[in-house]
Amino acid sequence: MDMQALGGSMVAIVTPMHADGSVDWESLERLINWHIEQGTHGIVSVGTTGESATLGFREHDEVIERTVEIVDKRIPVIAGTGGNATDEAIRLTRHAKRVGADASLLVCPYYNKPSQEGLYRHFHAIAMAVDIPQILYNVPSRTGVDMLPETVARLSAIDNIVALKEAKGSIERIHELIEYVGDDMHIYSGDDGTAMESMLVGGKGNISVVANVVPNLMSRMCTAAIAGQREEAERLDAEMAPLHSALFFEANPIPVKWALQEMGWIEPGIRLPLTPLAEHFQDSVRDALKQVVGEY
């Protein structure tokens, strides 16, 4: 696909669930249509925020398939298809391609902590197996492994590896990555708190948790930052600042699902081992919502 169409504000959308933990398809459709109306540039389906770790294979496939159908080519759909087993990631990625996803998002294998050579071979194998644009995802705080810029640079030479979501939260790392990969790969932020600066120094977008709650604000901020309009980007980012901290008081997606429930978008469904937002955090998240969203 045209890489110009892949960037900006890409929401790592929650997977709405009923109180019993079953997927709430009606709320998923409402959320997707709201995002498109509000100017979100892309939907990332079944990422960490979409509770990929607790969805079964069939559910994982169906959420991606339904998302593609609902979006109906209005904006790009990026399917979360990573796994800590290479064969599993290939299977999920093949399905995403088959049902019409525009790209896949592939997290570094988690828990088993591969070497840099292991990371290279893992992503190389998926790229060779499935001809779909692929976005790598580095999030050391959750996977236990940090994919280094040298490894990213090696992978950037593969035609269908087109971008990296970098969630280390370091502007220095963003600078280093852009220097290493040049025009061979887009760099996206995966950390809302540093996303604006990442785009101002050359990043091409933000795969965002905060966009779940304020899609229009995030879309406008990303557009301004990518265009180099620092003053406007800083103004919009400052409006969202309370959410950059409040939505991470507990592990994502616990706070953002509670916030969307509070706003009336979804039911209070989340799957174990995740639990609803602790009561002692609720007033703080509610206050942040009131500061940024106003009445809802």
| Residue boundaries of the structural domains of the chain | 3-227
Q: 80: which DSSP letter?
A: E
89 alpha-carbon distance from chain centroid:
17
Active site residue 180: no
Longest dimension (CA), the chain: 51
Cα separation values, 80 from 64, 66, 83, 137, 199, Å: 8, 14, 9, 10, 22
User: Could you tell me the mean pLDDT of each successive run of 10 residues in the chain, 296 residues long?
Assistant: 81 97 97 98 97 95 98 98 97 98 98 97 98 98 96 97 96 95 94 97 97 98 98 98 97 98 97 97 97 86
Helices (H), the chain: 25-38, 57-71, 86-99, 116-129, 140-143, 149-155, 171-181, 192-200, 215-226, 230-246, 254-262, 279-292
Active site residue 165: yes
Is 151 one of the annotated binding-site residues? no
Can you tell me the distance from the alpha carbon of 64 to that of 102, in angstroms, rounded to the nearest whole number?
Answer: 11
Q: 23: which DSSP letter?
A: B
pLDDT at 1: 59
Map residue 44 onto helix, strand or coil.
Answer: strand
Residue 86 makes CB contacts below 8 A (sequence gap 6+) with 109, 121, 122, 125, 126
DSSP percent split of the chain into helix, strand, coil, nearest 5: 50, 15, 35
Can you tell me the distance from the alpha carbon of 40 to that of 149, in angstroms, rounded to the nearest whole number?
Answer: 29
Among residues 110, 111, 120, 137, which one is catalytic? 137
Q: 173: which DSSP letter?
A: H
Fold classification of 3-227 (topology level): TIM Barrel (3.20.20)
Please list the residues that pair with 8 across neighbouring strands.
205
Is 49 one of the annotated binding-site residues? yes
Cα separation values, 190 from 88, 129, 176, 269, Å: 23, 26, 16, 24
Map residue 165 onto helix, strand or coil.
Answer: strand
Among residues 165, 168, 204, 257, which one is catalytic? 165
Count CB atoms within 10 A of the CB of residue 98. 13
